[in-house]
Amino acid sequence: MPKSKFKKFATVKKIISPSDPRLSSAQEKLERQKKRQAERLAPVEAPKVQSTMFFSHNEALGPPYRIIVDTNFINHSIQRKLDLVQSMMDCLLAKCTPCISDCVLAELEKLGPKYRIALRIAKDPRFERIHCMHKGTYADDCICNIVAKDPVYIVATNDRDLKRRLRKIPGVPIMYIGGRTARRYNIERLPEALGAPRT
Ligand code: ZN
């Protein structure tokens, strides 16, 4: 074989056009590998556990109880002619302070004149106001955020979906009105929040 012919063959073999598919796929593979590695090394966001929940029970919870109420709970109480503060104290045998967030109040205001009694109750001076600093006014989200961040409250609601969401947050007892004819409040998860074993 003549020498010049061999040389030419070798040069041709060495050069790969930049648009060669083999080249781009190799580069893609390298990028994918880099990305996977970065994902592996990225810090995992661990769920934040409140310091009061360090022990098996919620140390921040105890009388006088602060109880966040939602729109639905106020309305159910009115229908059953239950005085909110008195019924809370009858249920827990301790001093109770109902709390209402800006979002819940806004929700009541939006419901219109039919709910003016509920609104009047919510504006009772015995109620403690929780001022909202967050975006949006969806009351269920608002309540869940408050207790997840700061589990020092009991939540009073008769809303099934909200109750379900609250059960996923540790240390948050739920106050509710059971049954259609019930004339008193009940409490769920309070012994558990105070350290009793789950039943
Ligand atoms: Zn809010």
Q: How far is CA 156 from the centre of its chain?
A: 16
Could you list the residue range(s) of the whole structural domain that residue 98 is in?
Answer: 53-194
Residue 145 Cα, ligand 1 centroid: separation in angstroms?
A: 8
Write down how long the chain is. 199
- Asked if the structure places residue 134 within a domain, the reply is yes
Q: Which pLDDT tens digit goes with each residue over 140-157?
A: 999 999 999 888 999 999
If you measure from the C-alpha of residue 158 to the centroid of ligand 1, how many angstroms do you get, rounded to a whole number? 19
State the CATH number of the domain containing residue 189: 3.40.50.1010
Q: What separation in Å is there between the alpha carbon of 21 and the centre of ligand 1? A: 55
DSSP string, 158-171: --HHHHHHHTTSTT
Is 31 domain-assigned?
Answer: no
Classify residue 33: in a domain, yes or no: no
Query: What's the rounded Cα separation, in Å, for the pair 67 and 109?
Result: 20
10: in domain: no
- Cα 27 to averaged position of ligand 1 atoms, centre (Å): 49
| Global pTM value | 0.70
**95 inside domain:** yes
Q: What is the pLDDT of residue 104?
A: 94
- At position 83, the amino acid (one-letter code) is D
For 100-127, how does the pLDDT look when each residue is reduced to its tens digit (9 = 90+)?
Answer: 999 999 999 999 898 999 999 999 999 9
Is-contact 78 115, C-beta < 8 A? no
Higher-confidence residue of 48 and 19: namely 19
Structural domain count, the chain: 1
pLDDT at 97 over 90: yes
Tell me the CA–centroid distance for residue 106 and ligand 1, in Å. 9
The answer to whether residue 115 is domain-embedded is yes
99-to-12, 33, 41, 93, 182 alpha-carbon distances in Å: 81, 52, 43, 18, 23
Distance 138 CA to ligand 1 centre (A): 7
Give a yes or no: residue 69 inside a domain. Answer: yes
34-43: buried (b, 16+ CB within 10 Å) or exposed (e) per residue? eeeeeeeeee
Asked if residue 36 is part of any domain, the answer here is no
The 10s digit of each residue's pLDDT in 65-91 is 999 999 999 999 999 999 999 999 999
